[in-house]
């Protein structure tokens, strides 16, 4: 009987894990830099490519499409082979995907600071890079789908459902939003204009969050959480209901980004209603995660990976409550375009995506390199630094955002704005934004500790990995 190592292609999983670590440190470093630039403008320097306006899209692209997408691909390649009980359909296609994907991120890291941009949120890259993305995405998806088709396991576990939904929807969003007319090698114009352009953009933008930062990480949760605690998911039926309701509702919620804009009122209301409806499936998934975790509640005290999973599910619940709340017109009128939105976004990305990614990596690295984790203490330090960093970040942004929105809306007895000078508001918000930058620095420090922990673990490769039992201190 063939061993698991010879049966499965783990080279590709290792490749994307390394990509995740490199782009994770890079993206979060840029995030910390631009956070301090908002407090100390002199840090923008005099070079255009070091300014906030150039580094901010680099940060978001590296974080979402460099770090998060690397984790998605690593876990997708790892889980599909185990759940289908078969090797990837074509190892060469996997390697081509890895190479072209990383080439794309490098090109993004070059072009964005130089100012080559389509100026669309999460879709800044110019058309030649977009075409390169299409090439490697088709290669990846064909390989993934053929692996599922030739599977030896008849039943498809729900994790694969979430991954497939993501991999089908993302190209639809990407292609529709990025239809442009080239006007040079690194210049193009969108075929859309006006409110139609705005509506297409936020249909794409909102669902990029849905199908890049939510559904694949739910697939990740449904696989690695029960695997780590060696217990089944609390409710398979709930996971299926969670899947179909989330997939149906999420796609229609985009217009809530355009409240009080010129798009038709019925469309704004549709986006708001579907956003509020998202509470139900989102919290269904959160409860499934929590109830699964209760089967190993004693281990949470000593297991950093499980702590991260618990925190990730908690932040998922918080973010999916706050998102629908912010889609309500009266709340949006206060919060839209303020720091509150930044806090909301990072509650989800740092708490849900960041911690769930870290948990998956802590699960994978020791097993793939056949070595026990170098230091559980460092992993616990990573967790506490990350948690403290997130809390500093989001609480400061909540306070800053509500203060900012209130100052914008403040009117005197004559109906005139109380704070006419925008710079006055910016100066008032500096302390909150400094706390945000400090919180980001703490989170980045935790990531650096994780990378160091993994380097030491990999250096000790093939020393033998010993699986820990659920009972504290017992080895299986």
Torsion-angle region of 101 (φ positive above 0: left; ψ -120 to 50: alpha; else: beta)? alpha
Q: Are the C-beta atoms of residues 197 and 249 closer than 8 Å to each other?
A: no
Taking alpha carbons only, the member of 251, 268, 250, 272 closest to residue 260 is 268
The secondary structure of 131-196 as a DSSP string is HHHHHHHHHHHHHHHHHHHT-S-SS--HHHHHHHHHHHHHHHHHHHHT-EEE-STT-EEES--HHH
- We find that the CATH architecture of domain 10-460 is Up-down Bundle (1.20)
Chunked mean pLDDT (size 10), the chain, 476 residues: 65 98 98 97 91 96 97 98 96 98 98 95 96 98 97 94 96 95 95 94 94 96 96 94 94 94 94 95 94 89 94 96 95 96 96 98 97 96 98 97 96 92 94 98 98 97 74 41
Residues ≥6 apart with Cβ < 8 Å to 81: 7, 8, 9, 87, 88, 147
Q: Are the C-beta atoms of residues 446 and 382 closer than 8 Å to each other?
A: yes
Pull the structure tokens for residue 340: 């509150």
Backbone angles phi, psi at 254, to 5 degrees: -55, -40
pLDDT at 473: 41
CA–CA–CA angle 224, 228, 231 (5° rounding): 100
pLDDT at 248: 94
Torsion-angle region of 187 (φ positive above 0: left; ψ -120 to 50: alpha; else: beta)? beta
- Please write down the long-range contacts of 43-46, taking CB distance under 8 Å and 24 or more positions apart: none
Q: pTM score, two decimals?
A: 0.95
Estimate the crossing angle of helix 158-177 against helix 236-250, to 10 degrees. 10
CA–CA–CA angle 468, 473, 476 (5° rounding): 35
Annotated binding site: 59, 206, 256-257, 344, 346
pLDDT at 46: 85
Taking alpha carbons only, the member of 141, 213, 208 closest to residue 178 is 208
**Burial of residue 405 (number of CB atoms within 10 Å: 0-12, 13-18, 19+):** buried
CA distance 424 to 422: 5
pLDDT at 469: 59
Annotated binding site for Cu cation: 206, 256-257
Q: Please say whether the dihedral angle defined by the alpha carbons of residues 349, 350, 355 and 361, taken in this order, is positive or negative.
A: positive
Q: Does residue 416 sit in helix, strand or coil? A: coil
pLDDT at 3: 46
Q: Does residue 442 sit in helix, strand or coil? A: helix
CA distance 294 to 312: 15
Q: Are the C-beta atoms of residues 13 and 79 closer than 8 Å to each other?
A: no
CB atoms near residue 208 (< 10 Å): 23
CA distance 125 to 102: 14
Q: Please say whether the dihedral angle defined by the alpha carbons of residues 237, 238, 242 and 248, taken in this order, is positive or negative.
A: positive
Annotated binding site for heme b: 59, 344, 346
Residues ≥6 apart with Cβ < 8 Å to 93: 139, 140, 142, 143
CA distance 28 to 40: 18
């Amino acid at each position: 009987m063939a061993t698991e190592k010879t049966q499965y292609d783990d080279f590709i999983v290792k490749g994307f894990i390394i990509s995740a670590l490199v782009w994770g440190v890079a993206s979060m470093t840029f995030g910390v830099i631009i956070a301090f630039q908002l407090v100390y403008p002199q840090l923008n320097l005099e070079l255009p490519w070091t300014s906030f306006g150039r580094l901010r899209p680099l940060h978001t692209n590296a974080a979402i499409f460099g770090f998060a997408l690397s984790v998605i691909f690593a876990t997708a390649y790892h889980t599909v082979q185990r759940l289908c009980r078969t090797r990837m359909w074509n190892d060469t296609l996997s390697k081509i995907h890895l190479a072209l994907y990383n080439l794309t991120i490098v090109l993004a890291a070059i072009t964005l600071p130089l100012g080559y941009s389509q100026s669309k949120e999460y879709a800044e890259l110019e058309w030649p890079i977009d075409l390169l993305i299409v090439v490697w995405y088709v290669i990846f998806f064909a390989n993934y789908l053929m692996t599922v088709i030739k599977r030896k396991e008849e039943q498809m576990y729900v994790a694969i459902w979430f991954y497939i939904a993501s991999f089908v929807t993302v190209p639809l969003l990407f292609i529709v939003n990025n239809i442009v007319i080239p006007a040079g090698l690194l210049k193009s114009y969108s075929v859309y204009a006006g409110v139609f352009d705005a509506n297409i953009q936020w249909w794409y933008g909102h669902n990029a969050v849905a199908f890049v930062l939510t559904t694949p990480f739910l697939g990740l949760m449904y696989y690695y959480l029960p695997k780590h605690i060696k217990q089944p998911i609390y409710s398979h039926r709930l996971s299926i209901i969670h899947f179909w309701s989330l997939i149906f509702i999420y796609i229609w919620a985009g217009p809530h980004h355009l409240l009080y804009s010129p798009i038709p009122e019925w469309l704004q209301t549709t986006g708001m209603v579907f956003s509020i409806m998202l509470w139900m499936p989102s919290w269904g998934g959160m409860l499934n995660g929590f109830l699964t975790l209760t089967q190993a509640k004693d281990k949470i005290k000593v297991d950093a990976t499980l702590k991260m999973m618990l925190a990730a599910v908690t932040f998922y619940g918080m973010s999916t409550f706050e998102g629908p709340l912010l889609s309500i017109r009266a709340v949006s009128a206060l919060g839209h375009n303020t720091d509150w939105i930044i806090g909301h976004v990072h509650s989800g990305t740092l708490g849900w995506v960041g911690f769930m990614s870290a948990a998956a990596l802590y699960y994978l690295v020791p097993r793939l390199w056949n070595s026990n984790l170098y230091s559980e203490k460092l992993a616990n330090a990573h967790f506490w630094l990350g948690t403290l960093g997130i809390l500093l970040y989001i609480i400061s942004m909540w306070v800053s955002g509500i203060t900012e929105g209130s100052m914008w809306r403040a009117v005197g007895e004559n109906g005139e704005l109380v704070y006419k000078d925008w710079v006055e508001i910016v100066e008032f918000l500096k302390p909150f934004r400094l706390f945000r930058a400090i919180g980001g620095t703490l989170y980045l420090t935790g990531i650096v500790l994780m990378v160091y922990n993994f380097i030491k673990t990999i250096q000790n490769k093939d020393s033998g990995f010993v699986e820990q039992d659920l009972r504290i201190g017992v080895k299986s």
